[in-house]
Chains A and B, each alone.
Chain A
């Protein structure tokens, strides 16, 4: 009898303990979620301000107290912004540049990184270091020599200066990809070689399929960088119809004032493609970055 009562008491204690643990876990989760929601709201605030501003009249934008949700939304601001400058055309131009750069990156980066990761050749480390050192050079310093070069090649006012570099490998991506390929076991290369695959066969049948997370990083980062790039397009492009959206948006910033309501409306529309790409790629992107960090 005594033993049964004791067992019952232990069972009760265990149940209580489990309930306490469940409760503690629940509270912990609730706190974590509350914190994440709070942080998400803070990070969303600029986008919300952008959306709110895009629906206001100019005199309402900096009014006090601020009106987060405009009482009379000015939907016409979007039409006015897109009517004032050829922004749809500029978005199409940006898309062309993005696609061309992504293709260039997907061709050049794996080849160069594969060479650094898998082959031995004279001055390999020095060349790798040299390549990395180009990342340290500020972009502005390269502008005049690049302009001079493309001017001599008669490529000013064409998209080539904005596309060609991607076909010669971005050093940041080459570095990432090299590190990633080094984590792929060489046994797979050996097995493929035994099956008759050459260096190119190993690259395209083994390395590239296994490097999908790293390649996703290349695609998404290239998308964001090229879509947002402002400096190089203004240096190399001249034709009104050839500007990308990053330059088009800057037209709303005048010499004396900014047309905030139109600027925010146009910007809101222009970031939609980036949000869409990030939404679909985020799983691969986070996995890709994490795996490079851990294995590298």
Chain B
């Protein structure tokens, strides 16, 4: 009897312990992860809140503490917290190269994910924006690309046919000249914003230096490069484009000449899908066409996505991945597309885009599968890190109209030595 009583007490104690432990698990506080993001036309504040609401409904044990900040604040805050080594968010955009070493390697997590894979994304965008040192360090949120937007009303007014995808860089100059009207303070087109971007590559310019990052001679001053710089000379000489100073004073700083385009003072402009929404909202009658290229040569596009990553010091990597894959996966991007105006980086979701049937959106879709200038740039950080500055005189002299057309070759020849010196200095500095 006494033994039975002891057994009962022991059993009751164990049962109680078990119940308590189950109760403990049930009452456990949910894990809270921090997320920093930006409010924009593509992803406005209500869309951000809706993403969180949908995620938390699916994952009741994970709470998301969001900080929505301004574009101009984001860089300062990331630099400060990553520099301090504390206070950075679990999930955020990691769009600056110096931030990438602070991002968590999610290669294995993505491979093990049954609901998401790298094949779900646009291939070029994934490779250029989510992969670093052969590891997956994030997922590409949205896609952006440059293309030429043209004002249909101005074309109609001047009786000129709209440009089509098979136009060449020299067609661009001729059309720009025909659309320029000094009396109306109107320019026909804009200028590229740097060498070896899409139009340079479309003309046939290879790269400013060799793929193995050893040689500038024969690349920067090679015949294809000279042809591209000469095209630039012709464009500047045409008088059909605003100067960089015009753009700086009259345009929106750092975001392209969209203001001049919307005001009808620029008939064609190299803009992006964000500008497309701005122009649509402003009631501009416009069309979209890929940047001009030379038939028979590869077509390139200057494209980008927002690298969205997990901070590698996070205390909750599993929960952070759950959220990242939701936000940058089909559900999160669809919410942003429906509430905001996000262009998703997943072709399956992009197919549902509300404006997908419009002419301008179809024009935009044409550039998404083109080769990206970013592929070479991402693999050659010394171009933006050092060489571009060393050889910028050639660009500046042409932009300022300081040299004659037949001096382009000699000017590029003169840039080889400083370019080579910058490359030789940079390559070992960045670890080869």
Contacts and interface: CB of A to CB of B under 8 A. Distances in A.
Nearest to A86: B45
B184 A64 contact: yes
Given A61-B259, A253-B70, A255-B38, 19 more contacts: A58-B278, A59-B284, A62-B263, A64-B185, A64-B265, A148-B84, A234-B73, A234-B76, A238-B67, A240-B45, A250-B72, A254-B41, A254-B255, A254-B274, A255-B42, A256-B258, A257-B252, A258-B252, A258-B255
Contact of A235 (B38, B68, B80): B80
A190 interface: no
Minimum-distance CB pairs A-B, first 6: A256-B274, A234-B73, A62-B263, A250-B70, A64-B185, A58-B282
A239 B259 CA distance: 32
B262 interface: yes
Interface in A138-152: 143-144, 147-148, 151
25 contacts: A57-B283, A58-B262, A58-B278, A58-B282, A59-B262, A61-B259, A62-B250, A62-B259, A64-B184, A144-B84, A234-B73, A235-B76, A235-B77, A240-B45, A240-B68, A247-B69, A250-B70, A254-B274, A255-B38, A255-B71, A256-B255, A256-B256, A257-B278, A258-B252, A260-B259
B250 A255 contact: no
A219 B83 CA distance: 34
B260 interface: yes
Contacts of B80: 143-144, 147, 235
B345 to A, nearest CB: 15
Contacts of A57: 282-283
Contacts of A257: 252, 255, 258-259, 274-275, 278
B276 to A, nearest CB: 9
Interface string B77-120: 10011011011000000000000000000000000000000000
Interface residues of B, number: 45
Contacts of B186: 64
Contacts of B66: 240
Contacts of A251: 39, 70
B168 interface: no
B263 A60 contact: yes
Interface string B20-48: 00000000000000000011111001000
A27 to B, nearest CB: 39
Contacts of B260: 62
Interface string B264-281: 110000001011001001
Interface in B287-307: none
Contacts of B73: 230, 234, 247, 250
A75 to B, nearest CB: 18
Contacts of B283: 57, 59
Contacts of B84: 144, 147-148, 151
A156 interface: yes
A62 B262 contact: yes
Given A148-B84, A250-B71, A255 B255 contact: yes
Contact of B77 (A148, A151, A234, A250): A234
A155 to B, nearest CB: 11
A63 interface: yes
A231 B252 contact: no
Interface string A220-258: 000000000011001100111000000100110111111
A147 B70 contact: no
A16 to B, nearest CB: 55
Contacts of B259: 61-62, 257-258, 260
Contacts of B67: 238-240
A240 B39 CA distance: 11
A231 B76 contact: yes
B81 A234 contact: no
A254 B70 CA distance: 8
A24 B84 CA distance: 67
A148 B263 contact: no
Given A62-B259, A148-B84, A256-B278, A234 B265 contact: no
A285 B259 CA distance: 40
B281 A58 contact: yes
A59 B282 contact: yes
A89 to B, nearest CB: 13
A58 B260 CA distance: 11
Nearest to B72: A250
B70 A63 contact: no
A58 B279 CA distance: 9
A156 B281 contact: no
A200 to B, nearest CB: 40
B313 to A, nearest CB: 13
Contacts of A85: 45
Contacts of B185: 64
A228 B86 CA distance: 27
A257 B81 CA distance: 27
Nearest to B38: A255
B274 A63 contact: no
B283 to A, nearest CB: 7
B60 to A, nearest CB: 23
Nearest to A156: B87
Interface string A52-68: 00000111111110000
Nearest to A60: B263
Nearest to A62: B263
Given A144-B80, A257-B252, A59 B71 contact: no
Interface centre among A62, A234, A253 (most CB of B within 10 A): A62
Nearest to A234: B73
B264 A63 contact: yes
A250 B73 CA distance: 8
Interface in A240-296: 240, 247, 250-251, 253-258, 260
A182 B221 CA distance: 69
A147 B81 contact: yes
Contacts of B272: 256
A148 B260 CA distance: 44
Interface string A63-99: 1100000000000000000000100000000000000
Interface in A118-172: 143-144, 147-148, 151, 156
Nearest to B144: A256
